Each structure stands twice: as structure tokens, then as C-alpha cells.
Structure 1
């Protein structure tokens, strides 16, 4: 086999068609043949400029692979399905897909990947903000796109990552609305005599995420040592079609599943509904996930245990006052198990349905909303219980690094948000400052 390097000299000439042509040898293709690229223009000056650009790409090592470049839509589909899917949690992947469909593909999808420009990204982020989306949402879309483009650069699909050439949207500050100490106490008092009421004591005391609380299992709880290992969380995954003919399956079943008074139903034909994602032929889109739960051969969905990512896997000491509440809860659960008999489904979870089955996060949300009304406390999200834990820990003088460890934050900046709302500590600090400067010696 010859090891001779290709002749890298470029050529510029006037063609018989009246156009100026330029040809540049960029290297060698995978099959060993020379990789020569062609450019043309109406003037010699313009084609010379294009030739020089190609030569600069080649000389700087930023040469993209030969062949027609994929569109943004094609590359994002490849990236999410074949690359990101190996590393991302299923729920995170679904979230990435949602933002990719609704923003990246919708507004940038038709661009060829190598012709995507910084101003295209700036226009997308400006549009998101103009439509009322939070800065943090625009930043998330930017990060998804930037990561996909970085992989494209590594695989020589493109010569540069244009996402690095724009100013990323600001992160914004997530609004934290913790409950006050008095509100937290009223909630725990109202939950005391409810079934699974200690679920909310755990939420406020330990600051667990909803999935972490519902995924707690007795094998990871040591009441004698007073600790709990948060090693798993419960997640609801989206069902996917398991049949061969997705379009036929979904189109037939969507119409049966969709209520008769669906406001998005196509009229007057009624053949299909506008709430069903469709392709250009009127069939259900192959990537449709909204109603795959109706497929008789559905796969990959439902409630599942999965490991938390990063530093979220942790061991937390239990407050001494919480231990007897958990002991009493375990006794009541054992009684439910005896009453259920053969109908009991053993999942070893701390908080279960009366038959032992897992609690759906949506039902858990409804229980929380009902509890707030009973306790006569303002409306709040389930996640606000976690914010309450972080705020109360800071107010009690717990070091922010310790709070980070308890809550399982990967970044100390997430924990430091609670220092901004812990006003009692700030007030106490200023009172001490006043005494130091103007108080009696």
C-alpha cells in the first residue's frame, strides 16, 4: 500500500459554464481515495475566498467529513437516540426529547448542521423569552444543543460548535417558596392521624425529593442506628409502543381513548383527532409517546426504581423524634399486610397502598394538596417541602456544606439559595452587629 500523501495544492479555473470553480484537496476519505471539495462562484475573487476558507479549515485540523451533512433535526435524532440515551436517565431523556421537539427541531431543524450560525441560536433564545419561557428553560435548551454539537465536532460532522460562539442565556434564579416553621408544624400535626402520614414528616425533616421518598425501602432504613440510605428513587417512565405497526396501532386506539367531547377533535369527519401527533400522511407520528400506554405490547413504562444520579445517593441521619414515628408506621403497615393476605404486593417500600403496591406520584401529589387544605396552609408544591427542610436547616445554624450533603445537591450553589431566604439568621446577625457597634461595653 502506498503511503504517499495526497497533493494538497488547490486549483481555480473558469469553467465552460461561465462559473469560476475551485477544488481543494482536504485529505483522504475512509476508502483511501483523495477527498477533494468543490466550490464555485460568479467571480474569481469570490471563489478564491471560498477556496481559502476550505484551506484554513484543513490546515487548522477542523475538516469535516465528506458527504452531505445532516440537518439539525437528523443529528439531534441520532444524538438523543444513539448517544445520549446510553448515559441519561429515562426521565431526563424524555425531558430532553420534549425540549428538542418543541424548540430545537421546530425552529432550527431544517438547517444543515454545518450551516447553523450563531445568530440562529440567538434568535431561538430570544423567541423563547418573548413567549414567556424562563431564562433557565432557554439555558437548558442551549445546553442540550451545545452538547449535541460538541459530539458532532468530535465525530467530524462539523468543524466548530457554534453554541460556543454565543452568550448562553442566564440561569435565572428558581423561586424558592419554603413553608414557615409554623406552617410546617401545622402540616405535621394534620398528618399525624392520616394513613401514611409520616410520609410528610420524612419529607419536611429530611428534605427528600418526591421520588426518593416514595422509593424508600425498609432494607435501607436502620432505626436502631438512626439512619436511612437514599439509594433509590421511584420514577414513572413513559410507555413506548411494542408493536410492529405503530401508526396503525396508535391511530386506532387514540380515537377510542380520546373522549367524545375532546375540544381538539377534528370535525366534521371525526376520522382522527388533532390532539394526536401526525406525520404528513395523517398517520400517528412514529415518535408519539402520549398514548403508547394503550398499545397491548407496550414496553418500558410504568413505575420503576432507579438509582439517583451524582451525589444524590447518600446516607442521612434521622432526627431522634422521627424514629418512633417510623416504628409506629411499620407496625401499622404490618397489620395492613396481614389484612390484605394473598393480595399483598411486597415491594418493601415504606409508603405503599393498602395492598402493598407502589404509590403513584400523582396520587401522592393529590394527598399533599388535600393535607394542605386540612392544615389550613397556603397552596404549595410537594417540592416546597424539600425547600422547607433546606431553609430550616440553615436557620438552625447548620453549615451550608452539611446542608448540601443532607439534600444531595451536586453543586454548592444550589444549597446557597437557601441562605437568601433564611431571614431570621440575618436579623440575628444584624442585632449582634448593632450590639457590637453601639451596645454597652
Structure 2
């Protein structure tokens, strides 16, 4: 008679679920097969301090593999990992235009410079050497731009034009690499993000010159009678971004209460054309109070749009946007830029970017004594530190005026004169400006 075998105390897992066991060093290890680049399968191992966590990590990777998402190989090249990161990770977390810029950065700089390196063997020295090479290399020669010209004028003629990358571009390239490696660390493909150990330096910021009070007044006066007068007035009074203005719908406005809900932005993408997207950040989704002057302009604009609708008849294409074309369609951001440039020329003002209206709003509000936290909420900055950093030049000037006024009061004199110094320099504008 056969003696029945006692039930095993070990928990069994279904075929394909992988294995999990405790190592001699006390850690738990889980291993299983997943989809790898090239439509192959490989065995991966994950580790944790508890059996439950190790099993959860493995289950997550197997589930992603079953959805057809390949898991990058740690032994693979940087080129393979960056391609995987762009196609399976970044594409789900970035806006289309941002993803397009990331892809161009990867194809143009990261893969040619670091693509042959192994992901797990990449060092901070490799990254620093590569960045230094980029900093000193003529892009005309490195990317073959000169050879594509009808008449070469750089390396092909023996006279290098020394067209090098700007410091801001180098910082952007470095930030893309850091983002990719940060995800590799989260997926435990590499133990650390070596790009974080490399400093690119702080470039000297470019300078932007916001409109003065007199210039802003002249711009609004010239805009009187323009079919987009309400847009320019709203931009100067509220600091809304171009995309936020063009993406605004009538349902977002409460003209009786005098408020506007900023929920979306209009952008042109390479695949979808003019597309309405969510706001730039979570903090950008906000409700703002509309000044009385803008309320009057918007009501007049609404009446004007109704007349355009009646004139267009059956050709009217109702997009629901507050600011639309004469046929009701959404306005292309590029066309708005052209209209703004023409308006500046007509007003006899220097040429500035449309985004500088946003800087002008914040600068003029600060000079009127409005608190920084109010400006931060109006502009939709994620943190008040961003507002404080971008407009530090204005605060410095106001500090000087305040201390001069105090000095005049203590000495018994009138503070009619203003001392000018470093605080009156044109404000800086760099990559951090939102």
C-alpha cells in the first residue's frame, strides 16, 4: 500500500508566473521571463527586502510584457534603451510637441554620442566627456549641414564657421538624458543616474524687455478697432499664455460674475494639427478674475462674433472658441504672432515676443505693489519660487525705492528722486521662464 505524500509547505505558482525565493543574504529574489527588444524573451531578476515586494515588482514587469511592452536589457546599449524609453515610456507622459523635441534631441545628440555605451557601464566621466565634446564641436560639420548646402562654406571649404551649441541647448540635452536615466533607475536597470553627477553650469541668461506703462498704453490704443482687440487687452491685463488665450471657450467665461476658467490650451502638433490640450501644469488650471475693462471688451467681442456668424451663414464653422477666425475656426498660433508683430509695427514699438506680454503683466503688477502670491496665482505658476526668481529684478528695484524712501523720511527730506542701478537692468529670460 502506498503511503500518501504529505502536502508541501511551499507555495506553488502557476507556469509562467516566475519564481520567488529568499537569498542567503536575507533579500528576496523573484525571477521570470519577459518580452525583450527584438521580439525575444529574457529572464529577469528583481530584488526586495520582503517577499511581497519582490513578487509585486516581478508581476508588474510580466504584466507589462504581456501587454507587448518590451523590457530593456541592462546589458544592452544606450541606443536601445533610449529608443525603448521614447517609444514606451516618454510618449505616455509628454505632450506631443515635447515628445517630438525629446526625440530630436535623442536622435541628433544622445545616440550619436552615447549610443554605443552599455547602459550599466555608463559613467559620469563618459557623460562629462561627451558634453565637453558637444560644447566645442561645430554643429555645421558634425551633423553634415555644410555638405548638404549647394555652396559649402564651412568645413568643406577648409574654413570652419564654429557654429556651436548654446549653453541653454546643452542644458536641455543634459536634462533629457537625466530624465531617461531616471526611469532606468526606477526600473532597476541601473543602480544610479550618473548624469545627475555632472554639472553643466549656469549660463548667463538672455534678457527680455517687457513693455513699460507708456508702451503698453500705446499698444492698447493702437489695438482699438482691431478684431482681436479683446485678446490683446486680456493678454496684457491677465498675463495669459498664447495657447491659453486661443484655447479659451465661451463656456469658460462668466461675464456676469466677471471670471474666466483656464482649463485648456491650443497648440499645433505635427500629427493632429490644431489641438486643444490640457493646461501646461496642474497649477495652470485656474480661475481668474477679469477686470472691468476686459469685461466690456469681451462683451463687445461677443457681439462682433455674432455679426460675423450671421455674415458667414452656412459657411460658419463653430469651434466654440472665444477668439476665432471670421469663419469661426480656431486661430493658428502662428497667425496670431503675425498679427501681433504687425500691431507692434503700427504702434511704433520695438519688436518683442507675444510671450513678453506675460512678462510685462507681471512686471507692471509688481511695480504697482501687488503681492507676489497674487501674481503667482494669476500667472498659474506651480511654485511661488518660480515667480520670485523670474521677476527678481523688479523686486530689487522696489527694494531700492523703499529704502530710499525710508532714508529720505529719516533725514526729513522728500523722496522724489529714484536711484537707478543694477535693479533697472533689463530682466533676464532663460530656460526657467514659464
The answer to whether the 8 Å contact 2:239/2:358 transfers is: yes
1:231-260 per-residue CA deviation (whole Å, 9 max, x = no partner) reads 111011112xxxxxxxxxxxxxxxxxxxxx
> Counterpart of 1:279?
none
> Counterpart of 1:351?
323
Q: Decide which of 137, 140, 156 is 2:169's aligned counterpart.
A: 137
The answer to whether the 8 Å contact 1:191/1:200 transfers is: yes
Structure 2: which 5+ runs fail to align?
A: 1-11, 13-18, 34-42, 45-53, 55-70, 137-162, 415-434
> Counterpart of 2:345?
373
Q: Decide which of 359, 368, 372 is 1:396's aligned counterpart.
A: 368
Q: Decide which of 369, 374, 383 is 2:355's aligned counterpart.
A: 383
- Provide the C-alpha distance between the structure 1 equivalents of 2:289 and 2:130, rounded to a whole number of angstroms: 46
1:355-379 per-residue CA deviation (whole Å, 9 max, x = no partner) reads 0011111111110110010000001
Q: Using a 3 Å threshold, how does the CA distance of structure 1 residues 355 and 112 change in structure 2: closer, same or farther?
A: same
Offset, 1:102: 2.3
> Counterpart of 1:185?
217
Q: TM-score, normalised by structure 2?
A: 0.70
Q: Using a 3 Å threshold, how does the CA distance of structure 1 residues 381 and 440 change in structure 2: closer, same or farther?
A: closer
Offset, 1:402: 0.9
Q: Decide which of 392, 411, 422 is 1:438's aligned counterpart.
A: 411
Structure 1: which 5+ runs fail to align?
A: 9-25, 37-60, 240-300
- Provide the C-alpha distance between the structure 1 equivalents of 2:402 and 2:130, rounded to a whole number of angstroms: 45
* More displaced stretch, 80-89 vs 173-182: 173-182
Q: Decide which of 398, 407, 417 is 1:425's aligned counterpart.
A: 398
Query: Aligned to 1:382, what secondary structure does the other structure show?
Result: coil
Q: Using a 3 Å threshold, how does the CA distance of structure 1 residues 133 and 202 change in structure 2: closer, same or farther?
A: farther
The equivalences for 1:248-397 within 5 A come to: 301-308=272-279, 309-397=281-369
> Counterpart of 1:30?
32
The total of aligned residue pairs comes to 334
After the TM superposition, which parts of structure 1 deviate over 6 Å for at least 4 consecutive aligned residues?
Answer: 1-8, 65-68
- Provide the C-alpha distance between the structure 2 equivalents of 1:328 and 1:29, rounded to a whole number of angstroms: 68
Q: TM-score, normalised by structure 1?
A: 0.69
> Counterpart of 1:75?
81
> Counterpart of 2:190?
158
Higher relative contact order (CA closer than 8 Å, sequence separation 6+): 1
Offset, 1:167: 2.6
Query: Aligned to 1:311, what secondary structure does the other structure show?
Result: coil
> Counterpart of 1:253?
none
> Counterpart of 1:50?
none
Query: Aligned to 1:85, what secondary structure does the other structure show?
Result: helix
1:312-362 per-residue CA deviation (whole Å, 9 max, x = no partner) reads 111111111211111111111100000001111111111111100111111
> Counterpart of 1:407?
379
* More displaced stretch, 139-148 vs 402-411: 139-148
Offset, 1:7: 8.5
- Provide the C-alpha distance between the structure 1 equivalents of 2:374 and 2:72, rounded to a whole number of angstroms: 53
Offset, 1:66: 11
- Provide the C-alpha distance between the structure 1 equivalents of 2:317 and 2:356, rounded to a whole number of angstroms: 31
- Provide the C-alpha distance between the structure 2 equivalents of 1:68 and 1:85, rounded to a whole number of angstroms: 21
CA RMSD in angstroms, aligned pairs only: 3.0
1:166-194 per-residue CA deviation (whole Å, 9 max, x = no partner) reads 23543754533211111111111111111
- Provide the C-alpha distance between the structure 2 equivalents of 1:182 and 1:440, rounded to a whole number of angstroms: 29
